[in-house]
Structure 1
Amino acid sequence: MKIRNKNNRPNYFIATLLSAAICIPVLPANVWALQVLEEVIVTARKRAESLQETPVAVSFLSGEDLAQSGMRDVLKLAEVVPNLTFTTGGSGGSAAPNIRGVGARNNGANFDSGVALYLDGVYASRADGAIIDSVDIRSVQVVRGPQGTLFGKNATGGAIIYATNKPTELFEGNVEVDIGNYDRQNGQITVNVPLIDNTLYSRASLYRTARDGYLDDAETGENLGNVDRWGGQMQLRFIAGDSLLVDLNGVYGKVDQTTKGFQCQPALGVPGSGWLSGLQNGAILIPSTGKSFLQHCQDSYVLDKDQALTPWSDDLPPKYEATTKTIAATVDWEINDIFSLKSITAWRNTNAGEANDIFGLGIPFQTRTNFGRSITANRNTDWYSEELQLSGSAFDQKIDYIVGLFASREETDEGNAAGVAGPFFGALGDPLVASYLAQGTELRTDNKSYAVFSQADWNITDTWRLSLGLRYTWEERLLRRTTYDPDVSSLSSGAAAISVFDPFYSFPDGPDSFNANHGYVLGDDQNKKIDNDDWNPMGSIQYLFQRGDMLDNGTAYFTISTGFLSGGLSESLDFETGEIPEYKPEEATNYEIGLKADVFDSTLRINTALFHTQYDNRQLTGIGVNPETGTISSVTTNAAKSSISGLEIEALWLPMTNLDITFNVALNHGDIEKFEDTTVAVPGELPAADCTLATIGPGTTVDGCNVDRSDEDLPRLPKQTYYAAVQYFWETDVGSFTPRLDATYKKDINNCFDWASCQWENGKGMEYDFYSLNARLTWRSTSEAIRVTAYGNNLTDNQSAEGGNPLIGSTESRAVDWSAPRSYGVELAYTW
């Protein structure tokens, strides 16, 4: 958002903003008379309207805000926007957003997130390639709470809406470089070129984002978790007439970097946990490596935070790669003074793969890879969509409305990941015998979705407005799951390997004869199709404040909104039936009271929201077991009843000329009210009445137990979030100087997956806090063409265990992912 004082001097600052009633101090009027807040226009309801009149909790940041606060990519939004967090998984290259604790941990093509991410109106259906760099961005809007009526089936948590700058009639552009520690080398360039006066304009951007990782492998010295992204965007704007506008947009992005490294942390004391590590110790780990799982874990845990242990070799590289391509056409037709029609046609392709160490042990205890072992291939997904929006007004503009149609098809036509464990030679006490698992799993999907929607505002009077909306969605999902097992005849490059019993093989010519590029034979092949449909209504009543009321501008509103996240098919087979299991659709109903207020001659903006969201069949990612191999796998389950209640406050204050202060708060309480789940356990350690002995994999015996997970905290929902920023604009004869200081603190973020992880230390062992203190000093030339910024992030060098893999049920451990250490650098920019 651009803020101007009354002598028209530019003064830029963040425009994230507020939600719930707080006390406003009464100060002399002359204090407020020096600068004012400008109106912010948002499109959170798919039409342009004032932020202060929108009955939705939405945070808005302009492209200037992103530059001033140093938000280089979408992940940095989480430090500013209330109740927004991101997970990047072990890859470090994908982005899974969570709003108000709702999102996804699974980035598979068979699972969707509850937060919708849009770039210029095009839905990004996969987490791969979704780390959007802040290149030529016009604005970002984060809409919080279920948005099922306008945004559809995958917005039970909310939506993140990116909009880029569009081609104009001017020849203009900018170039920027960013150099810092960890060998940071970022650069971007944007050029706008008019092609045909009053008819055709073009705009193009290129960027590169690169730095070294924060971790090194303790044994090999290999750098882990580096960043290497590059790409570009090409836009054409065709003005076909006074009422017809056509935008063509092509976007390309490439990621090629090493994955993160984890540190293993022992987590003992939960009954029934450790079934997998216990089974592996006696026959495999101790005779093969001389150490138990716990001893390997301890070797990792004692390392410094800048080190990790990774098991990868040349054929299992620590790697993440993704390529994204998008082509979109947007047509805006102003039919007449009353009606306008908009069409968004899009194709988006993602091709991605990764090699992830799950445990951080430095041995191939269990690794999942899309590279190496001969059968692997990246997951390749094509998304096609069409959306039509007809908007207009009726009854002398008493009613404003939008109606629309939406259709999409998503196909994943390849993608084979190998789950690798071993080889561990010396198993069973024989130096020629190896324990080896390498099951390839291919997932092919075909998802179709259709929807019709409508929403209308009735301007009852100048101050009262009623909004009603309704959407119907139908979706069909198909999953084909095919597995492949090692071909024994090709396991050895010397004398043929002999199967002792699965997964043990004898190699007559010893360990050096193991052939990592062995072949595979077909294992299991299943497919299943489901369909879901749902109606999503919404209603809102609001009072619009007029200048002269208690407030200068704003609204008070009460909104009831709903959301729908389609059901699906899990990639992990049911360990009792051996079949593809279904999970149910997630449905959300949100009750929200909001107050948006500009006061003190529009020098203080306070936007607040008090909300309660009730979820039926909340989709949660947990840890299950692969019945074919006896190893762990991710599984999607439904918590029958859960709820989230919270208070969000966003404030922007201009107390004096050129001084801007932002303060955001979020206070939350999340509760799983009813959740009957199952867990795998060491036989005999949990009450026998709740457990059934089961055989999985190659003769492995475990207990399958029913567990009550009601009253657990919801994962990825900070109980408290605070953000504050102070910025001062100082103009001199040699240019302007803008010092800035901001701080973020998130408290009690739960990171547990399975039942055992949520039981460890009464659930508190999986919680972490995050805080960061950042500073920037910007100089702009008098012409504003040149900008130089020195910056420092995480100045206190605090590193918290912000994520990882809590696998306590299977191994009595968790793999810890440390947050980024202190970083610093210099940005140089030139605009013409």
Structure 2
Amino acid sequence: MAVLDHHISGQTKNRIVNGLCYSVLASSLVLCLQQVYAEEPILETSELSDAEKNVQDVAQLEMVVVTATRREQSLQKVPVAVSVLSGKTLEQQQKNSLEAIVSDVPSVNFRAGASNKDTSLFVRGVGTITTSPGVEPSVSTVVDGVVFSRPGQATLDLLDIDRIEVLRGPQGTLFGKNASAGVVNIVTKNPTSYPSGYVDVYATSDKEQRIRLGVSGTLIPDTLKANVTALLGNFDGNVKNLYYNKDVNGYKNYGFRTKFEYTPSDTLVLGLTADYIHKDGTNPTAVVVKNSNAAYASALQPIVPHAENRQVIENTSASTDDTNQGLALTADWTLQNHQLSSITAFRQWKNTQIGDGDQLSAATPSFAGIADRGDVNTKQFSQELRIKPLENGFFNYVAGLYFSKNKNDETYQRQSQWYDSTASNYVTDFGRAVYNTDSTNYAVFGEGTVNFNDRLRLVAGLRVTRDELSYDHQRSSTIPVSVGVRNAIRSPYASSGSTSETGISGRIGPQFDFSPNINTYLTYSRGYKGPAYNVYFNMQQIDTPVLDPETADSYELGFKSQWLDNRLRLNIAGFYTDYQNYQANFRTLDPSGFPITRLVNAGDVSTKGIELDSVYKVSSDLSLSLSAANIIARIEDFKCPPTDSACPNVNGKPLPFSPDWKINAQVDKFIQLANNKRIELSTQYSWQSEVQYSLDQNANTIQPSYGIWNAGIALNDTGSDWRVALNVRNILDKSYATLLGTNGDRITRQVPRDDERYFGLSFRKDF
């Protein structure tokens, strides 16, 4: 947990993977993107040609429309590497969180934790490895145009989703300050003009239950329409706490999302969105999988650590109480040939986390008992104004202004009970830190496309960002100053600081159409992530210097194409990105030689690779899919903290949370029956190579390569609008870790939801 001071050869595996990819490219048969591409509805937009709008042959792929450039465009025309996931498909597969999309988008990875506070997303090997409130996420999460300020907010339960667009690489021009590695753009469903509704029920063999309800329609004819979706879910968990004899690593959650659309005139559309999600989680602090201390092994009994362990014996019931809520007011105003758009948003995120730092049932003479509690209260306000022309011309553009104000208030307290051998009794220490950060962001941005002719275009964009950041920190403690630190609690300390920076981000490059169905682009992008402070419970003097902004220089060559009468879609992107002043956590030593985890400017890192997104519609009833990524993310020039005399040489080593290879393949088959019924068959296999979870390259924090195989069968009545499905997750019963960490002499892991095989039965009825 972030609050703690904290049989096949590789050559053979490479031959297997390379052979698979080369054979796929050669045959052009099992090429595909996410299956969502075949199910994305066509949207009406003035930017699409009549020919594009009318591609409706059932044996062809339907067109995918995205807003990756803040304008509705065909996926094949956007000069950005984008993966698109359909909300319909996510619902059918019961993928209910951003963590679940990692298998579908090979360029994306996920940092798990005991709480939402400790989680974050990675794109192309780069993400945020800290929980300090003084740090921006490297991957920006945007929901209906609203940028979320903290990484933990991004791990929300997906509700009423139309589609998810994953924009890979720096996207700072149009999507804001914290997009140096990529953007996850979530678009929720708009209200329908006709009455509609649905109920979706899901239950699994390991006692997970979920129900979603939704209604939509017109409240005032031609003027006001609205929708609302509600969620209730429960999962006991897949880890057993032997101390309390109960299942943990589960959740109870509930929430809603509602959207109103008001059209007072032909030139003005107003929108109001409100959402609320509450989650009670029971994730254990960590599960011990390896231990080298005999005394700790005795205290941990009856648990015997091993790689697939799903048992804990924590006497402090680890839990998370998480609330994510917000309001957004939108306005789209047509002014002759232009549209002026406004997004005004307020969000609040509250997170209370309780953890057991020792993972034992009681303190012993050899090991202190440590219990933690952290409370987070994050408030953000943002205002964005944009203008764009409504019709295509020689020069198309989007320009705007952005402002955000974010305030983070946190309280963290730790209690330790330890055995004092001189007094022959147990002593209790206590520490409590109150800290906050304030950040203000101003930006002016714009991106334009110069259409030299029907085939050649030039894309150029620029964003100027002003960041203002300050913090206050004060810790009270029972630890004497002369002692400094005892059992992960430091002596009293107080500090504050402030800084400001101006950053430049942007993009430029040509785009050329070899034919109506073959498009290429070459872009240079500049990414920027603002200054940071390492603000946390055990903050000390060495943590007070401000971290320099993280910047990126990225080059991307893209190839987007459609073949075989629009039955085969093949998109390839190659890229190289160099990051300077990479901000990340590193396990090091403080001036007294005590091991700690510090947020540092880690130096220069790079990520390069090639990505494949494709889909082949063999017939109207059969689709084959493959997406793959070969990403080489490496540390180029690591800057050791000056206080660490034993800093390891990690140059040339992999970045954390970034496997070199990830592949996702899927087959979807429909069998038509009488009376508007059909059987739907699907199978999916996702594989990734080994991944290192620690920047310091600990040999014990490497997750070996693994693959997960899922399958499903459904009966769908398209006439009566109902569907019943049986899904099998992790058919091969493969156990793996979404995080491996160190805590003293032991290695711990986070247990994923699908760490073992289970079955799920779902039923959906649309009205």
Residue 487 of structure 1 and its aligned partner are, at CA, apart by: 9.6
Partner of 1:480: 472
Residue 576 of structure 1 and its aligned partner are, at CA, apart by: 8.6
After TM superposition, the structure 1 stretch with the greater mean CA deviation from structure 2, 798-807 or 134-143, is 798-807
2:709 is the counterpart of 1:773: yes
CA distance in 2 between partners of 1:766 and 1:303 (Å): 14
1:113-128 matches, within 5 Å, as: 113-128=137-152
2:364 is the counterpart of 1:400: no
- 2:300·2:313 contact (CA, 8 Å) conserved in 1? no
Partner of 2:418: 424
SS in structure 2 of the partner of residue 66 of structure 1: helix
2:533 is the counterpart of 1:539: no
2:742 is the counterpart of 1:826: no
CA distance in 2 between partners of 1:636 and 1:501 (Å): 24
Which amino acid in structure 1 is aligned with residue 738 of structure 2?
A: E
Residue 481 of structure 1 and its aligned partner are, at CA, apart by: 0.9
1:749-760 matches, within 5 Å, as: 749-753=691-695, 755=696, 758-760=697-699
1:216-227 matches, within 5 Å, as: 216-227=240-251
SS in structure 2 of the partner of residue 569 of structure 1: coil
SS in structure 2 of the partner of residue 292 of structure 1: helix
CA distance in 2 between partners of 1:745 and 1:666 (Å): 11
Q: 1:197 aligns with which of 197, 200, 221?
A: 221
Partner of 1:7: none
CA distance in 2 between partners of 1:676 and 1:363 (Å): 40
After TM superposition, the structure 1 stretch with the greater mean CA deviation from structure 2, 198-207 or 127-136, is 127-136
Residue 126 of structure 1 and its aligned partner are, at CA, apart by: 2.0
Partner of 2:75: 51
CA distance in 1 between partners of 2:389 and 2:368 (Å): 57
- 2:224·2:261 contact (CA, 8 Å) conserved in 1? yes
SS in structure 2 of the partner of residue 320 of structure 1: strand
CA distance in 1 between partners of 2:573 and 2:484 (Å): 57
Residue 366 of structure 1 and its aligned partner are, at CA, apart by: 7.4
- 1:93·1:255 contact (CA, 8 Å) conserved in 2? no
1:500–1:50 CA distance, 2 compared to 1 (3 A): closer
CA distance in 1 between partners of 2:341 and 2:369 (Å): 47
2:613 is the counterpart of 1:650: yes
CA distance in 2 between partners of 1:76 and 1:389 (Å): 32
SS in structure 2 of the partner of residue 23 of structure 1: helix
CA distance in 1 between partners of 2:368 and 2:586 (Å): 17
SS in structure 2 of the partner of residue 671 of structure 1: strand
1:399–1:366 CA distance, 2 compared to 1 (3 A): farther
Which amino acid in structure 1 is aligned with residue 666 of structure 2?
A: A
User: Percent identity among equivalent residues?
Assistant: 24
Q: Kindly provide the CA deviation profile for residues 502-543 of structure 1, in whole angstroms up to 9, marking residues without a partner as x.
A: 8899xxxxxxxxxxxxxx999322111011211112112111
Unaligned 5+ runs, structure 2: 1-20, 30-56
Partner of 1:745: 687
Which amino acid in structure 1 is aligned with residue 25 of structure 2?
A: C
CA distance in 2 between partners of 1:67 and 1:397 (Å): 39
SS in structure 1 of the partner of residue 656 of structure 2: coil
- 2:533·2:543 contact (CA, 8 Å) conserved in 1? no
Which amino acid in structure 2 is aligned with residue 307 of structure 1?
A: R
Q: 2:383 aligns with which of 386, 389, 394?
A: 386
CA distance in 2 between partners of 1:728 and 1:678 (Å): 55
2:634 is the counterpart of 1:671: yes
SS in structure 1 of the partner of residue 152 of structure 2: coil
Partner of 1:725: 666
1:462-501 matches, within 5 Å, as: 462-486=454-478
1:681-692 matches, within 5 Å, as: 691=645
SS in structure 1 of the partner of residue 178 of structure 2: coil
- 1:243·1:333 contact (CA, 8 Å) conserved in 2? yes
1:268-347 matches, within 5 Å, as: 292-293=295-296, 296=299, 300-302=303-305, 305=308, 307-313=310-316, 317-336=317-336, 338-347=337-346
CA distance in 2 between partners of 1:531 and 1:367 (Å): 41
Partner of 2:42: none
- 1:676·1:708 contact (CA, 8 Å) conserved in 2? no
SS in structure 2 of the partner of residue 730 of structure 1: strand
Residue 829 of structure 1 and its aligned partner are, at CA, apart by: 0.7
2:714 is the counterpart of 1:711: no
Which amino acid in structure 1 is aligned with residue 513 of structure 2?
A: L
Q: Kindly provide the CA deviation profile for residues 616-635 of structure 1, in whole angstroms up to 9, marking residues without a partner as x.
A: 0111112356789x976542
CA distance in 2 between partners of 1:504 and 1:622 (Å): 21
Unaligned 5+ runs, structure 1: 1-18, 28-32, 269-276, 278-290, 372-376, 489-498, 506-519, 548-552, 681-689, 692-704
Residue 785 of structure 1 and its aligned partner are, at CA, apart by: 1.3
CA distance in 2 between partners of 1:639 and 1:767 (Å): 23
Which amino acid in structure 2 is aligned with residue 452 of structure 1?
A: V
Residue 407 of structure 1 and its aligned partner are, at CA, apart by: 0.5
SS in structure 2 of the partner of residue 189 of structure 1: strand
Residue 230 of structure 1 and its aligned partner are, at CA, apart by: 1.2
Q: Kindly provide the CA deviation profile for residues 733-763 of structure 1, in whole angstroms up to 9, marking residues without a partner as x.
A: 141110100010111211014x3xx1537xx
Q: 2:128 aligns with which of 104, 126, 141?
A: 104
Residue 310 of structure 1 and its aligned partner are, at CA, apart by: 3.9
Q: Kindly provide the CA deviation profile for residues 228-263 of structure 1, in whole angstroms up to 9, marking residues without a partner as x.
A: 221001211100211111110000010112123533
2:543 is the counterpart of 1:617: no
CA distance in 2 between partners of 1:776 and 1:22 (Å): 24
Partner of 2:208: 184
CA distance in 1 between partners of 2:369 and 2:598 (Å): 17
Q: Kindly provide the CA deviation profile for residues 517-571 of structure 1, in whole angstroms up to 9, marking residues without a partner as x.
A: xxx9993221110112111121121112434xxxxx1311111112111121112
CA distance in 2 between partners of 1:340 and 1:324 (Å): 31
Q: Kindly provide the CA deviation profile for residues 460-485 of structure 1, in whole angstroms up to 9, marking residues without a partner as x.
A: 11011100011101101111111011
After TM superposition, the structure 1 stretch with the greater mean CA deviation from structure 2, 579-588 or 821-830, is 579-588
Residue 500 of structure 1 and its aligned partner are, at CA, apart by: 12
1:122–1:393 CA distance, 2 compared to 1 (3 A): closer
1:335–1:368 CA distance, 2 compared to 1 (3 A): farther
CA distance in 1 between partners of 2:287 and 2:610 (Å): 35
Q: 2:519 aligns with which of 555, 558, 569?
A: 555
CA distance in 2 between partners of 1:675 and 1:775 (Å): 43
Residue 369 of structure 1 and its aligned partner are, at CA, apart by: 6.0
2:555 is the counterpart of 1:591: yes
Q: 1:67 aligns with which of 91, 101, 120?
A: 91
SS in structure 1 of the partner of residue 350 of structure 2: strand
Which amino acid in structure 2 is aligned with residue 614 of structure 1?
A: D
**TM-score normalised per structure 2:** 0.87
CA distance in 2 between partners of 1:119 and 1:346 (Å): 11
- 2:173·2:461 contact (CA, 8 Å) conserved in 1? yes
- 1:677·1:709 contact (CA, 8 Å) conserved in 2? no
Partner of 2:48: none
- 2:441·2:468 contact (CA, 8 Å) conserved in 1? yes
CA distance in 2 between partners of 1:438 and 1:239 (Å): 57
Residue 167 of structure 1 and its aligned partner are, at CA, apart by: 1.4
CA distance in 2 between partners of 1:667 and 1:529 (Å): 40
Which amino acid in structure 2 is aligned with residue 424 of structure 1?
A: W
Residue 132 of structure 1 and its aligned partner are, at CA, apart by: 3.2
CA distance in 2 between partners of 1:293 and 1:580 (Å): 35
Number of matched pairs: 714
Q: Kindly provide the CA deviation profile for residues 154-197 of structure 1, in whole angstroms up to 9, marking residues without a partner as x.
A: 11110001111111221111111101122111001011131110
CA distance in 2 between partners of 1:303 and 1:767 (Å): 13
1:439–1:827 CA distance, 2 compared to 1 (3 A): same
2:80 is the counterpart of 1:88: no
Residue 358 of structure 1 and its aligned partner are, at CA, apart by: 4.5
Q: Kindly provide the CA deviation profile for residues 98-151 of structure 1, in whole angstroms up to 9, marking residues without a partner as x.
A: 111111132332222100011111112223343333332111100000111111
1:627–1:293 CA distance, 2 compared to 1 (3 A): farther
- 1:90·1:804 contact (CA, 8 Å) conserved in 2? no
1:538–1:502 CA distance, 2 compared to 1 (3 A): closer
1:770–1:484 CA distance, 2 compared to 1 (3 A): farther
Residue 26 of structure 1 and its aligned partner are, at CA, apart by: 7.8
Q: 1:605 aligns with which of 533, 549, 569?
A: 569
Task: Please report the RMSD computed on the Cα atoms of aligned residues, expressed in angstroms.
Answer: 3.1
